Amino acid sequence: MKEYSMKNLRNLMLVGSSGAGKTTLSEQIFNKTKATNRLGKIDEGNTVLDFDPEEIAKKMSLGLSIGYVNHKDHRINILDAPGYPDFVGDTVVALPAVENVVIVANAAGGFEVGLELALEQLEGKKKAKIILVNRMDNEHADFEKTLESIHENSDLRPVKVHIPIGKEGAFEGVVDLVRQKAYTAAGEVEVPASMQDQMEDARLQLMEAVAETDEDLLNEFLENMELSQDHLIAGLRKCIASGEIIPAFVCSAGTGLGVMAFLQGVIDYLVSPADYPKIELVEGEDVKEFIASADGELLGYIFKLYADPSMGDFAYVRMFSGVLKTSQEFYTPEKDAKDKAGNMYYMFGKNRHDCSELRAGEIGALVKLKNARVMNSIVALNARHAIKPVDLPEATTWQALKAVNQSDEDKIGGSLQKVIAEDPTIRYDLNVETHENVLSGMGDQQLQLVLKKLKNRYKVEAELKTPRIPYKETITASAESQYRHKKQSGGRGQYGEVYFRIKPTERGEGFQFINAIVGGVIPSNFIPAIEKGLVETMEKGIIAGYQVVDVAVEVYYGSYHDVDSSEMAFKIASSMALKEGFKKCKPILLEPIYNIVIIVPSEYMGDVMGDISTRRGRIMGMEQRGKKQYLSAQMPVVEMYAYYPALKSFTQGRGRFTQEFSHYERVPEDITQKVVAAWQDNEV
């Protein structure tokens, strides 16, 4: 098997909105480089990278998948990220694995949501960013307009390296501004005379952009109004690697025109692992720099887990430094554990090609790992540093998950763990207050996909419903109560009597029990039973079945019976006295309030603010950052559970939010009455 040096590797991730044509582009690249002998189509469900049955059914990517080609002495690894916003987690987690991010834009789509989201993920990251305007053959395709809209809506200013020949049905290929050649269905040809002027103009812009980044180049350019071919290529490479230039290419993945010229650009100008040898690592609190090299210390990163139903888990790995060989042991700092590389593969969609080692810069897959999981590092046995952890986006969607058939309830946990391991933005937690298992993530489609995978792969049917709200019960006034529990029919009797003073405490103080019994009116051995009666009753709730909090109960008087009193009798008396007294203390419900930060393009601010007030929300502040507004607000959890779809609908999908729990607050009277009534209906 041919070995590729770090210099001859290119690792690309394709990002951009759903439907921009990333998977179709990959398919063209595979086919044109003869990695496949048939061109798959999304509509026919036979592409290399969208191989999952759900992807075929939905005609879109639902998870990141990988492939590669060997072309002109180079290995080009392609990571095809799903564009639909619910699946953004895959992009975030895999970003550390590549040097180059190809932002695929739809020439006919304007500035799309998925494109915006992809650009946001790239902010502040040291990556070569490349714009590829695709779908040039489409009706309304417009190369210039697409680049302008990217520039207007982000801070990126793409510089043309290729320009299209014709458009829509008449799109014929591209002109390469560096080589000054055209690439059409006929291969490399002379630039059509009609495009000479356009080429000259664009070429001048390109040279100017490159020259501006370097003094020597600037002098050369000012003197000759021209850069030599070698200087232009070397300068362009350097500027792409440094991020000073975002090059723009153009093609039609549908017809294949421009695709090979783009691939040539990948080889000529994009960043190789050898160009980015410095890698930031963390060790405890320290951040340090690591220099990657082919024969250096071992360093790798697991950027995706694919749970193959028959083969088990594939861990997709990017090697940065050193060589990982079959059977080699390594250390995973995130798990503080050793692991061992078993068989290893180069992945091509769902197909795998055996290999015996993975070298610096390469991408492959490992199986049967014991401890290492996605987002984990692979380092030498004696090393303790790790790849800098990624920031996962916060949940925006919550659903309680339940097995449809009671008999599946036990089975569901294990299968679910396997399914959600594929997407680290999904969490599954037991809410101890509502006793529900709550699935949270980035959107409805993502959580629905979990159900589909459970059914297809593990034959478990589950359903989702809006989670219960973990209300709490408390009181707003003080009262006294008394209860005598007395039973004397047959056998041994039961007797216990308590007098309580019940009063509210400060918010957040929980439960306070005060024993003020004097003179032994209740013997001290029964006091714990009284407290236990209170705690158990408060746990179950009194007016609506929710935990009681922030209440102080003082037991100040009572009576007992020498023979008939028991712990049980006092527990019952205590519980009853609390229940009766509680209702006299003007009980209320509390609900969780969350701090949220809503991020929207400025033009949607009015709509967002109006909507917040209809959701019992409170606006806390706002701040303009770039072209976005960051609006801080507080919102009850019941409204937040339903917020994301609404926010998306009135911001054309462009609004997002982050959240964290803030505090508990009183529920308005009308809602309280409804919740109480609903509970009483259920109780009967």
Ligand X SMILES: Nc1nc2c(ncn2[C@@H]2O[C@H](COP(=O)(O)OP(=O)(O)OP(=O)(O)O)[C@@H](O)[C@H]2O)c(=O)[nH]1
Q: Please, which of residues 359-388 interact with ligand X by CB under 6 A?
A: none
84 is a site residue for ligand X (CB under 6 A): yes
- CA-based end-to-end distance of the chain: 73
Min. distance of Cβ 133 from ligand X in angstroms? 10
**43, interface contact from Mg ion, ligand X, none, CB < 5-8 Å by kind:** ligand X
Q: Give me the DSSP letters along 469-536.
A: P--EEEESS-EEEEEEEEE-SSSS-EEEEEEEEEEE--TT--EEEEE---TTSS-GGGHHHHHHHHHH
Q: Looking at beta carbons only, is 137 or 550 nearer to ligand X? A: 137
Q: Exposure of 79 by Cβ count < 10 A (0-12 exposed, 13-18 middle, 19+ buried)?
A: buried
Residue 596: name the closest of 391, 434, 395, 390 by CA: 395
DSSP, collapsed to helix, strand or coil, labels residue 294 as coil
Q: Looking at beta carbons only, is 22 or 231 nearer to ligand X? A: 22
**160, interface contact from Mg ion, ligand X, none, CB < 5-8 Å by kind:** none
82 is a site residue for ligand X (CB under 6 A): yes
Q: Which stretch binds ligand X (CB under 6 A): 81-89, 119-127, 202-210, 343-351?
A: 81-89
Binding mask 3-22 for Mg ion (x = CB under 5 A): -------------------x
Min. distance of Cβ 210 from ligand X in angstroms? 28
Structure tokens at 12: 């690309």
Q: Please, which of residues 492-531 interact with Mg ion by CB under 5 A?
A: none
Q: Please, which of residues 553-612 interact with ligand X by CB under 6 A?
A: none
The total number of residues shown for the chain amounts to 684
Min. distance of Cβ 48 from ligand X in angstroms? 11
**119, interface contact from ligand X, Mg ion, none, CB < 5-8 Å by kind:** none
Which one of 22, 71, 628, 648 is in contact with ligand X (CB under 6 A)?
Answer: 22
Sign of CA dihedral 268, 273, 274, 277: positive
Which one of 65, 77, 184, 252 is in contact with ligand X (CB under 6 A)?
Answer: 252
* CA–CA gap between residue 257 and residue 253 (Å, rounded): 7
**20, interface contact from Mg ion, ligand X, none, CB < 5-8 Å by kind:** ligand X
Which one of 202, 217, 253, 538 is in contact with ligand X (CB under 6 A)?
Answer: 253
Which one of 74, 127, 135, 231 is in contact with ligand X (CB under 6 A)?
Answer: 135
* CA–CA gap between residue 663 and residue 178 (Å, rounded): 60
Residue found under tokens 């989201």: 117
* CA–CA gap between residue 65 and residue 23 (Å, rounded): 9
* CA–CA gap between residue 490 and residue 493 (Å, rounded): 7
Min. distance of Cβ 18 from ligand X in angstroms? 3
**DSSP-H helix ranges across 225-364:** 229-242, 259-269
* CA–CA gap between residue 341 and residue 329 (Å, rounded): 6
Cα distances (angstroms) measured from residue 280 to each of 51, 93, 276: 34, 16, 11
Which one of 37, 43, 524, 614 is in contact with ligand X (CB under 6 A)?
Answer: 43
Q: Looking at beta carbons only, is 60 or 97 nearer to ligand X? A: 60
Which one of 137, 313, 497, 591 is in contact with ligand X (CB under 6 A)?
Answer: 137
Contacts (Cβ under 8 Å, ≥6 apart) of 257:
136, 137, 171, 172, 173, 174, 183, 184, 185, 251
Which one of 13, 19, 67, 264 is in contact with ligand X (CB under 6 A)?
Answer: 19
91 is a site residue for Mg ion (CB under 5 A): no
Residue 252: name the closest of 192, 150, 143, 171 by CA: 171
437 is a site residue for Mg ion (CB under 5 A): no
10 is a site residue for ligand X (CB under 6 A): no
Quick check: 49 and 23 in contact, CB under 8 A?
Answer: yes
Binding mask 20-59 for Mg ion (x = CB under 5 A): --xx------------------------------------
Min. distance of Cβ 58 from ligand X in angstroms? 8
Sign of CA dihedral 576, 579, 581, 583: negative
Binding mask 200-239 for ligand X (x = CB under 6 A): ----------------------------------------
121 is a site residue for ligand X (CB under 6 A): no
Min. distance of Cβ 51 from Mg ion in angstroms? 11
61 is a site residue for Mg ion (CB under 5 A): yes
**300, interface contact from Mg ion, ligand X, none, CB < 5-8 Å by kind:** none
Q: Give me the DSSP letters along 197-228.
A: HHHHHHHHHHHHHHHTT-HHHHHHHHHHSS--
Q: Which stretch binds ligand X (CB under 6 A): 64-72, 173-181, 251-259, 526-534?
A: 251-259
Q: Give me the DSSP letters along 45-110.
A: T--SS--SHHHHHHTS--S-EEEEEEETTEEEEEEE---SGGGHHHHHHHGGG-SEEEEEEETTT-
Strands 181-184 and 187-189: antiparallel
Residues that bind ligand X (CB under 6 A): 18-24, 42-43, 60-61, 82-84, 134-135, 137-138, 252-254
Residues that bind Mg ion (CB under 5 A): 22-23, 61
